[in-house]
Amino acid sequence: MTDTSQANAKVLFRVPSDNGTAEVETLWATRLGGDKYKLENSPFYAYGVSWEDVVFAPYSEEEQFPTFQEVFEKSGNRTVRIIFDAPIEEGNKSDKILKGIVALGCDYEGANRKLIAISIPPNISLDSVRNYLIECEATWEHTDPTYDSLFPESA
């Protein structure tokens, strides 16, 4: 699981939804100076960012938080999200899928027992994780990189 003990700030992300509104997510981060922050946990809703990315997030008086503007430096980590039908319980299918993810060399954290962000380190193949999730018939999505950036011809 991600260790947020070094975090000393939260960065706000506004995630547009299909109905024209936006979801708000705040991620733990470490201040680096110059409105730059290193993300200390994985996103559960935001797209295009991953654990340990450095982002540019000036403080917003309106939001009362440093607010994400852009990625300054990619960490090399990638993120996919799993949405389980059955909450994670010891020994059930959801638990077995997560144990398989860890065996592949990835890490994860949960927003709850159904919504899980998987952090894929730079040395682990995104294809191996994707193929594993497809084989398991898991409900999942690309979040960083996004599906549209991986498969622009499909967009």
Q: Which of 56, 73, 90 is the last residue of a domain?
A: 73
Distance between CA atoms of residues 138 and 11, nearest Å: 30
> Which of 28, 38, 44, 33 shows the shortest CA–CA distance to 80?
44
> Is the same domain home to 65 and 111?
no
Q: Which of 73, 93, 123 is the last residue of a domain?
A: 73
Q: Can you list the pairs that 59-64 forms with residues at least 24 positions away whose Cβ atoms lie under 8 Å? A: 59/35, 60/12, 63/12
What pLDDT is recorded for position 152? 87
Range of the domain at 28: 9-73
In the numeric block, which tokens belong to residue 114? 């159904």
What pLDDT is recorded for position 3? 57
User: Is residue 2 a part of any domain in this protein?
Assistant: no
What pLDDT is recorded for position 1? 47
What pLDDT is recorded for position 155? 61
pTM of the complete model = 0.89
**Total domains, the chain:** 2
Q: Which of 22, 53, 73 is the last residue of a domain?
A: 73
CATH number for the domain harbouring residue 90: 3.30.70
Distance between CA atoms of residues 36 and 85, nearest Å: 37
Question: Which residue, chain included where needed, has tokens 């954290």?
Answer: 109
Distance between CA atoms of residues 22 and 14, nearest Å: 6
Question: Which residue, chain included where needed, has tokens 């997510």?
Answer: 25
Question: Which residue, chain included where needed, has tokens 């622009």?
Answer: 152
Residues 6 or more apart whose CB falls under 8 angstroms from that of 131 comprise none
| pLDDT tens for the 155 residues of the chain, in order | 455 556 799 999 998 888 888 889 999 999 999 999 999 999 999 999 999 999 999 999 999 999 999 999 999 999 999 999 988 999 999 999 999 999 999 999 999 999 999 999 999 999 999 999 999 999 999 999 988 888 888 76
One-letter amino acid for residue 152 of the chain: P
